[in-house]
C-alpha cells in the first residue's frame, strides 16, 4: 500500500514561498555588493563605431563601465561545445556579451554600468552614448522562407513509404499553411545572477534550470576547471525553457565581479528579457494530408521553417512527434531554420510539439470536414498502437481511453458539426478537439540519499524546481521508499555541490531524478538487510531483497509481522548515517518499445460576432502520462498547460518592426498573456497507465504535454463557431471580423 505515491501532497516549499523565506537568485545577501545595469543597442545590425562612457563614469556612485573596448581578454571562446555528458540538448554556442563591436540583434547588450546602487547604475546607463555603422537587419522569416536550411544537411528527411505518390493519388486531401509568431516565456521572476570570486574560485547565484550547465559554461568562459565554480539556484520563479541555457548574463556578471574585485549583481529588466534568454521562434508550416473516403490517412507531408539568429542554427523539432501520432503508411516531414538578425530562440514549453501539433491537428480538423467525418472519429480511425516509423509497440498508450473519457465528460456526441449552428443568445458557440503528444523521456541523473540514525533522511540532487513541484515529488518518493514520514525527509536541489542531474526540461525530471532516488533507496534497503543479517536474530536470513520493504522506520519481511528497527540497527553498528550516491540511467528494456505520453482536449468557445472576441468557456483535458505521483501538483501542471494553450491560441505574440529588427512590445502591458478574467472552466483528468518499461516509477512527462493540443482545439472550435479557419496565431478579434 503506497503511503504517499498517488496521494495529494501540498508543496513542501509552499510555506517558504508564500512567506518570502524562499530565496531567489537575486535575493541572496552578499556583502559589498555592486549593481550592474545593462545598456542595449538601438540598432538591429552593424557595428559599434564609438562608445562614450565619460559622462556615465562621472555619475554618482558609478564604479566602472564595461564595454567591448575594455572587456578583458582572453574573451570567452566563440563557440565551444559542451562535452556530450554535460547535456545533449544544450550546446554552448551562445551569444556572449561585450566580446566584440558587432551587433547581431536589436537590444543587444553593449555596456554594463557598475555602481553602488541599482538606481545609480540604471541612471548612469542612460548616459552611455554609442554610434553605429548601421546595416539593414533581416528579421522576417516569412519573406525569407526560400533561405531555409536543414541544421544537419548530411541527414536529410527520410520518407516513410511514398508520400508524394500517395498524396497525388488520394481521393480526399487538404493542404494548408500555418504560422505562429515569436512568443516569449515571460516568467514572473526576471533572470539575474550574483557573482563573486575568492581567488580563482567563482560562486554564482543564478536563475537556472540546470546548475551543472551554467557551471560548465562559466568554466569554459574563464578557462578554469569546473570544480572551481559553484552555481546555486534553489528557487526559480518560472522559466519554461528560458533558463535551460546559460544565457549571456552569468558570464557577464562574473566578469564584472572579476574586473572590479567585488561581488556583482545583474538582473534583467522585463524589456531585456525579450532579447536575453531566447523565445519560441516564428514558425511557418505547411501540412498536406490525404485520405481514403473511409477516413484512413494515406499521406502526411509536413514542412516546418523557423527563424534562428544569424550565429546559431536553432531548429525546432516541430514535425518529429506529429509524424508518429497516426497510422499513416506514407509520410515525409522536415524541419528547417532561417538565419535572421534576432537573438537565438530557445525551447519554450512543449517546444516544437505544440507548434507542430497546432498545424497537424488543425489540418486533421480540416480533413474531417472534407470527409464529413466527425473529428474525433477520424482520429480513432487512424489510431495506432505502434510507432509508425519504427514499428515498435508503445510501452503504453492510453489515448483511446482519453478520447472516450473526454468526449463523454464534454458531451461531444451532442455536437452539431455544422459551423455557426450552435448559439448562446447572440454568441456563436463552437466545440473543438485535438490530440496532445509528448515524450516519456529519461536522462541519466544522480542523487544522494543519506538515512540518519536519528530517524531522518537527507536527499539531494542538482536538479531544479522551476515550479512543477520537484521539491515535493522528490520528498514524496524518498519518504515512500525509505519508509519514513515525509516530515522526516529533507530534499535539496539547485547546487553544484549536489550530485549531477540534467537540466529541468523536457518534462523528464521525475522520471530521471525520481528514478535515481528510488534506486538509491533500494540500495539503502539492501545495506540495511546486510547489516541485519550480521545479527543472529535476523528474520531475513533466507529472504530475498524483494521480500522486504521499509515501513515506519522498520525493515519489514513482507506479509509477516517480522521486522527490524532500522535506526536501532544503525546505532548498534555505530553508523550515524547510511549513504548511497546513485546514478539512474534509462533501461535497455526501453529500446524495445516506442514511448510517449498522450492526451485529448475538448474545448468550447463563445465568440461575440460583433467584436470578434473569443472566450474559452470550457476545457476538458484528459492526459495519459503514466503513474501520477502527486495528483495535487499534477493537476496544477495540466491546468497551467491549458491556460498557456489559451494564451498561445488567442493572445501571445512578440511583435517585431522589421524595418529596425526591433521588438515593439517587450513588456507585459503589450505582450498579452491570459489573466483570471480570460480563464473559465478547466477540468483536467488522468488516465493512469501502468508502465514499468519507461522507468521503475512508471512516470512520464506531463508539464509540456498539458498544453500541446490546446491551441489546435481552440482554433478548431473557433472554426466550428464562426466558419472561419484562422491558421495564423494568435486568433485575435481583427482576424475574425
Ligand atoms: Mo522545457 S521548454 O524543456 O524547459
- For residue 265 and ligand 1, the question of a CB distance below 6 A is answered with no
> Considering 86, 604, 689, 704, which one is annotated as catalytic?
704
- For residue 499 and ligand 1, the question of a CB distance below 6 A is answered with no
Work out the pLDDT band at 79, boundaries 50, 70, 90. very low
pLDDT per position as a tens digit, 93-107: 789 999 999 999 999
Which of the 8 DSSP states describes residue 717?
H
Q: Among the atoms of ligand 1, which is closest to the Cα of residue 241?
A: 4
Percent of the chain residues past pLDDT 70, beyond the cut: 97
- For residue 709 and ligand 1, the question of a CB distance below 6 A is answered with no
Question: Would you state the pLDDT for residue 1?
Answer: 66
pLDDT per position as a tens digit, 2-53: 899 999 999 999 999 999 999 999 999 999 999 999 999 999 999 999 999 9
Which of the 8 DSSP states describes residue 529?
H
Q: Which of 349, 438, 470, 501 to mutate to test the pocket of ligand 1 (most atoms within 8 A of CB)?
A: 349
Q: Among the atoms of ligand 1, which is closest to the Cα of residue 239?
A: 4
- For residue 347 and ligand 1, the question of a CB distance below 6 A is answered with yes
Cβ proximity of 621 and 684 under 8 Å:
yes
pLDDT per position as a tens digit, 172-229: 999 999 999 999 999 999 999 999 999 999 999 999 999 999 999 999 889 899 999 9
Burial 234-262 (b: 16+ CB within 10 A, else e): bbbbebbbbbbbbbbbbbbbbbbbbbeeb
SS3 588: coil
Pairing of strands 597-607, 427-438: antiparallel
Cβ proximity of 297 and 172 under 8 Å:
no
The residue nearest atom 4 of ligand 1, judged by CA position, is 241
Order of all β-strands in the sheet with 192-198: 62-67, 109-115, 34-40, 264-267, 192-198, 201-206, 229-232
Cell of 265: 549583481
Whether 80 shows a pLDDT value over 60: the answer reads no
Positive or negative, the Cα torsion across 249, 255, 260, 264? positive
Cβ proximity of 137 and 341 under 8 Å:
yes
Q: How many CA atoms lie within 13 A of 622 on its CB side?
A: 20
Pairing of strands 102-103, 46-52: antiparallel
pLDDT per position as a tens digit, 388-429: 999 999 999 999 999 999 999 999 999 999 999 999 999 999
Whether 91 shows a pLDDT value over 60: the answer reads no
Q: How many CA atoms lie within 13 A of 111 on its CB side?
A: 27
Distance, CA 348 to ligand 1 centroid (Å)? 6
Distances (CA, A) of 353 to 244, 406, 502: 17, 21, 21
Distances (CA, A) of 609 to 54, 436, 606: 58, 29, 9
- For residue 508 and ligand 1, the question of a CB distance below 6 A is answered with no
Q: What is the average pLDDT value for the chain, to the nearest integer?
A: 96
Class of domain 283-441+591-735: alpha beta
- For residue 348 and ligand 1, the question of a CB distance below 6 A is answered with yes
* CATH architecture label of 443-585: 2-Layer Sandwich (3.30)
SS3 621: strand
- φ/ψ of residue 113, rounded to 5: -95, 130
Distance, CA 242 to ligand 1 centroid (Å)? 8
**Any catalytic annotation for residue 704?**
yes
Between CA 25 and CA 28 the distance in angstroms is 6
Q: Which of 279, 347, 467, 468 to mutate to test the pocket of ligand 1 (most atoms within 8 A of CB)?
A: 347
Distance, CA 349 to ligand 1 centroid (Å)? 5
Span between the terminal Cα atoms of the chain, in Å: 57
Q: Burial, 186: exposed, middle or buried (Cβ in 10 Å; 0-12, 13-18, 19+)? A: buried
Distance, CA 512 to ligand 1 centroid (Å)? 15
Between CA 316 and CA 560 the distance in angstroms is 55
Q: How many CA atoms lie within 13 A of 428 on its CB side?
A: 22
pLDDT per position as a tens digit, 299-328: 999 999 999 999 999 999 999 999 999 999
**Which residue carries 494564451 as its cell?**
647
- For domain 25-136+188-238+243-274, give the fold: Aldehyde Oxidoreductase; domain 4 (3.30.365)
Question: Would you state the pLDDT for residue 73?
Answer: 76
Report the candidate in 119, 136, 137, 110 with the shortest Cα–Cα distance to residue 48.
110
Q: Among the atoms of ligand 1, which is closest to the Cα of residue 506?
A: 3
SS3 607: strand
Work out the pLDDT band at 74, boundaries 50, 70, 90. low
pLDDT per position as a tens digit, 418-477: 999 999 999 999 999 999 999 999 999 999 999 999 999 999 999 999 999 999 999 999
Crossing angle for the helix pair 211-222 and 249-260, nearest 10 degrees? 50
Whether 350 shows a pLDDT value over 50: the answer reads yes
Q: Among the atoms of ligand 1, which is closest to the Cα of residue 349?
A: 2
Question: Would you state the pLDDT for residue 496?
Answer: 98
Work out the pLDDT band at 62, boundaries 50, 70, 90. very high
Domain assignments of the chain as residue spans, ordered by start = 25-136+188-238+243-274, 283-441+591-735, 443-585
> How many CB atoms sit inside 10 A of residue 424's CB?
10
- φ/ψ of residue 515, rounded to 5: -65, -35
Q: Among the atoms of ligand 1, which is closest to the Cα of residue 350?
A: 2
The residue nearest atom 3 of ligand 1, judged by CA position, is 505
Asked if the domains at 25-136+188-238+243-274 and 283-441+591-735 fall in one CATH topology, the answer is yes
Work out the pLDDT band at 92, boundaries 50, 70, 90. low
Question: Would you state the pLDDT for residue 233?
Answer: 98
Amino acid at each position: 500500500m503506497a503511503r504517499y505515491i498517488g496521494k495529494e501532497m501540498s508543496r513542501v516549499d509552499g510555506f517558504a514561498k508564500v512567506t518570502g523565506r524562499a530565496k531567489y537568485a537575486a535575493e541572496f545577501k552578499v556583502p559589498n555588493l555592486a549593481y550592474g545595469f545593462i545598456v542595449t543597442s538601438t540598432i538591429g545590425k552593424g557595428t559599434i563605431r564609438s562608445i562614450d562612457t565619460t559622462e556615465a563614469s562621472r555619475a554618482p556612485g558609478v564604479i566602472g563601465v564595461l564595454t567591448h573596448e575594455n572587456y578583458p581578454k582572453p574573451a570567452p571562446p566563440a563557440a565551444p561545445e559542451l562535452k556530450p555528458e554535460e547535456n545533449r540538448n544544450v550546446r554552448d554556442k551562445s551569444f556572449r556579451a561585450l566580446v566584440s563591436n558587432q551587433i547581431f540583434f536589436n537590444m543587444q547588450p553593449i555596456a554594463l554600468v557598475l555602481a553602488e546602487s541599482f538606481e545609480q547604475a540604471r541612471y548612469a546607463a542612460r548616459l552611455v552614448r554609442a554610434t553605429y555603422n548601421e546595416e539593414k537587419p533581416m528579421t522576417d522569416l516569412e519573406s525569407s522562407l526560400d533561405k531555409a536550411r536543414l541544421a544537419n544537411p548530411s541527414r536529410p528527411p527520410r520518407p516513410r513509404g511514398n508520400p508524394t505518390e500517395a498524396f497525388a493519388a488520394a481521393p480526399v486531401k487538404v493542404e494548408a499553411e500555418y504560422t505562429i509568431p515569436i512568443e516569449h516565456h515571460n516568467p514572473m521572476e526576471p533572470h539575474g545572477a550574483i557573482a563573486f570570486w575568492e581567488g580563482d574560485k567563482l560562486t554564482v547565484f543564478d536563475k537556472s534550470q540546470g546548475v551543472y550547465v551554467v557551471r560548465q559554461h562559466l568554466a569554459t568562459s574563464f578557462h578554469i576547471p569546473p570544480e572551481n565554480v559553484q552555481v546555486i539556484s534553489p528557487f526559480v520563479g518560472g522559466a519554461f525553457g528560458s533558463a535551460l541555457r546559460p544565457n549571456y548574463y552569468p558570464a557577464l556578471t562574473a566578469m564584472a565581479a572579476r574586473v572590479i574585485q567585488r561581488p556583482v549583481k545583474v538582473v534583467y529588466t522585463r524589456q531585456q528579457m525579450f532579447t536575453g534568454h531566447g523565445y519560441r521562434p516564428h514558425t511557418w508550416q505547411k501540412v498536406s494530408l490525404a485520405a481514403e473516403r473511409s477516413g484512413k490517412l494515406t499521406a502526411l507531408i509536413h514542412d516546418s521553417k523557423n527563424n534562428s539568429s544569424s550565429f546559431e542554427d536553432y531548429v525546432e523539432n516541430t514535425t518529429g512527434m506529429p509524424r508518429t501520432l497516426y497510422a499513416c503508411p506514407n509520410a515525409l516531414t522536415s524541419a528547417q531554420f532561417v538565419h535572421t538578425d534576432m537573438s537565438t530562440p530557445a525551447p519554450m514549453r512543449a517546444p516544437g510539439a505544440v507548434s507542430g501539433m497546432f498545424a497537424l491537428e488543425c489540418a486533421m480538423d480540416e480533413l474531417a470536414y472534407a470527409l464529413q467525418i466527425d473529428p474525433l472519429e477520424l482520429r480513432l480511425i487512424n489510431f495506432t498502437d505502434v510507432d509508425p516509423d519504427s514499428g515498435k509497440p508503445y510501452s503504453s498508450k492510453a489515448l483511446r481511453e482519453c478520447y472516450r473519457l473526454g468526449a463523454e465528460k464534454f458531451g461531444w456526441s451532442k455536437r452539431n458539426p455544422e459551423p455557426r449552428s450552435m448559439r448562446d443568445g447572440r454568441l456563436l458557440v463552437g466545440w473543438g478537439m485535438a490530440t496532445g503528444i509528448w515524450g516519456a523521456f529519461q536522462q541519466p541523473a544522480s542523487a544522494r540519499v543519506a538515512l540518519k540514525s536519528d530517524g531522518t533522511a537527507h536527499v539531494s540532487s542538482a536538479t531544479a524546481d522551476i515550479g512543477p513541484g520537484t521539491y515535493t515529488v522528490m520528498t514524496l518518493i524518498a519518504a515512500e521508499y525509505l519508509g519514513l514520514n515525509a516530515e522526516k525527509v529533507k530534499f535539496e536541489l539547485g547546487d553544484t555541490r549536489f550530485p549531477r542531474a540534467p537540466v529541468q526540461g523536457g518534462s523528464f525530471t521525475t522520471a530521471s531524478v525520481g528514478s535515481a532516488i528510488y534506486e538509491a533507496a533500494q540500495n539503502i534497503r539492501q545495506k540495511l538487510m546486510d547489516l541485519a543479517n550480521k545479527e543472529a536474530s535476523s528474520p531475513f536470513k533466507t529472504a530475498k531483497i524483494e521480500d522486504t520493504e521499509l515501513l515506519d522506520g522498520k525493515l519489514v519481511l513482507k506479509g509477516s509481522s517480522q521486522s527490524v528497527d532500522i535506526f536501532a540497527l544503525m546505532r548498534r553498528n555505530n553508523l550515524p548515517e547510511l549513504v548511497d550516491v546513485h546514478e539512474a540511467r534509462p533501461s535497455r528494456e526501453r529500446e524495445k518499445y516506442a514511448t510517449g505520453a498522450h492526451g485529448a482536449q475538448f474545448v468550447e468557445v463563445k465568440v461575440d460576432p460583433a467584436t470578434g472576441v473569443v472566450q474559452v468557456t470550457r476545457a476538458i483535458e484528459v492526459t495519459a502520462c503514466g503513474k501520477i505521483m502527486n495528483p495535487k501538483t499534477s493537476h496544477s501542471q495540466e491546468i497551467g498547460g491549458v491556460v498557456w494553450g489559451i494564451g498561445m491560441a488567442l493572445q501571445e505574440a512578440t511583435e517585431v518592426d522589421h524595418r529596425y529588427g526591433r521588438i515593439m512590445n517587450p513588456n507585459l502591458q503589450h505582450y498579452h498573456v491570459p489573466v483570471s478574467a480570460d480563464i473559465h472552466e478547466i477540468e483536467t483528468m488522468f488516465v493512469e497507465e501502468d508502465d514499468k518499461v519507461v522507468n521503475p516509477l512508471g512516470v512520464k512527462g506531463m508539464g509540456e504535454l498539458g498544453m500541446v493540443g490546446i491551441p489546435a482545439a481552440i482554433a478548431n472550435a473557433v472554426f466550428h463557431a464562426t466558419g472561419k479557419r484562422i491558421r495564423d496565431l494568435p486568433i485575435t478579434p481583427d482576424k475574425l471580423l
